[in-house]
Amino acid sequence: CSLAGLGDSTKLVGVQVVLILAYSTIILLGVVGNSLVIYVVYRFKTLRTVTNFFIANLAVADLLVNTLCLPFTLVYTLLGEWKFGQVLCFLLPYAQGLAVHVSTVTLNVIALDRHRCIVYHLETRMRKDVCFGVIAATWVLSAVLASPLAIFREYGTFNLAPGQPIQVCTEKWPGSSTDGTVYSISMLLLQYVLPLAVISFAYARIWSKLRSHMSPAGRNDRHRRRRKTTKMLVTVVVVFAVSWLPFHAFQLATDIDGFVLDMRDFRLLYTLFHVVAMCSTFANPLLYGWMNSNYRTAFTTVFRCDQRMDSVHPEGGRGKGGEIIRKNGRTIECERDEKRLNKENHKMRCKLSCTS
């Protein structure tokens, strides 16, 4: 959340107006979108699946950045000095690092869970209590990985010019000057390169399985829904990777070459790359609404202030008015009788058929 280096470009009125508009838009879209995702998963039972719980966990992490990091980062950029005191100097960078680690780890967990179910034909999904345990573990692991951002930090006074002291919040590494570089490279590998390699491998196998290991008879609604969900999740990963790549590259360049800090437009470049990275915090809800009919229906239901959500089906569902239940090698296709469906009673017509 903090910015190092000093420059004059961000003091230009035109640049400041653009930055205010950019950050305000990201904060507004992020708070509304991620809050909406969390709310619909909590409110509608049909969305309370393992995958959606992980998606809600992503939304919580992004909401943390939108509320606890971005407003302070914007003010720090505009003022050119840290005005929030010593406690927040240690807390806010840690909060952003924590949230980014949670997002990365959660994306890996989603990919590996879907790989387990689809590639190995496991009908039994992860239990919800196990899911919540995994979510808790992602936060604990992320807290440990982000801890150096809070430990190796310095809040103090910097003399910008004679008689012009300013308060700054910067990283302070013990020992040699290469410690910061070692940490940045380690985080680049642990937070970006390695996770994306694992995710890419998992989704490549999933995609191959869905394309070539399904008989024509098996290309049913369940198969189509799995492909659509996989497309959505792959898009989420791509957006995350593309958004964060410039920021990680610039951070690495800063640690490797100290002359980057002396660039006149260092602060402006850092801020621009930071804005691009933060776009990932509001992009996910937009992707869900665009690519997933369940979320689209849920969002519409909330905006219409309806009390009940219709036409929402879990992954593998049959489609309109029905669902597919697999048990002991047999498929039970159930159609709700819409004419007789009411709040007190759900009457169903079921047709039992055998599958090979």
pLDDT along the chain (356 residues), means of 10: 53 91 96 94 91 93 91 89 90 91 91 85 79 96 93 86 83 77 86 90 85 59 72 84 89 78 80 92 83 86 75 46 37 37 38 32
The reported pLDDT for the residue numbered 303 is 87
The reported pLDDT for the residue numbered 53 is 94
Q: Alpha-carbon torsion 246, 31, 101, 236, what sign? A: negative
The structure's pTM equals: 0.78
Contact 296, 302 (CB under 8 A): no
Contact 185, 140 (CB under 8 A): no
- Residues 297, 165, single domain; the answer is yes
Structure token digits, residue 333 = 């296709």
- Residues 281, 329, single domain; the answer is no
Q: Are strands 348-354 and 322-327 parallel, antiparallel or unpaired?
A: unpaired
Structure token digits, residue 149 = 């951002």
The reported pLDDT for the residue numbered 331 is 35
- Residues 205, 158, single domain; the answer is yes
- Residues 201, 337, single domain; the answer is no
Whichever domain contains 175, its CATH number is 1.20.1070.10
- Residues 222, 337, single domain; the answer is no
Examine residue 4 and state whether it is found in any structural domain, yes or no.
Answer: no
Contact 62, 282 (CB under 8 A): yes
- Residues 233, 331, single domain; the answer is no
Is residue 163 left, alpha or beta, with left meaning phi > 0 and alpha meaning psi from -120 to 50? left
Q: Provide the domain count of the chain.
A: 2
In angstroms, the Cα distances linking 276 to 76, 114, 224, 235 are: 18, 29, 33, 16
Range of the domain at 264: 9-303
The reported pLDDT for the residue numbered 145 is 92
- Residues 291, 331, single domain; the answer is no
- Residues 216, 299, single domain; the answer is yes
Inter-helix orientation angle 128-146/50-68, to 10°: 30
Residue given tokens 């308060």 in the structure block: 167
The reported pLDDT for the residue numbered 219 is 57
Examine residue 192 and state whether it is found in any structural domain, yes or no.
Answer: yes
| H-type alpha helices, the chain | 13-43, 50-68, 70-79, 85-119, 128-146, 148-151, 179-188, 194-212, 221-256, 266-278, 280-291, 293-303
The reported pLDDT for the residue numbered 66 is 92
- Residues 286, 349, single domain; the answer is no
- Residues 202, 54, single domain; the answer is yes
- Residues 43, 138, single domain; the answer is yes
Give φ, ψ of 59 to 5 degrees: -65, -40
What CA–CA distance (Å, rounded) separates 38 from 237?
A: 19
Structure token digits, residue 125 = 């999904």
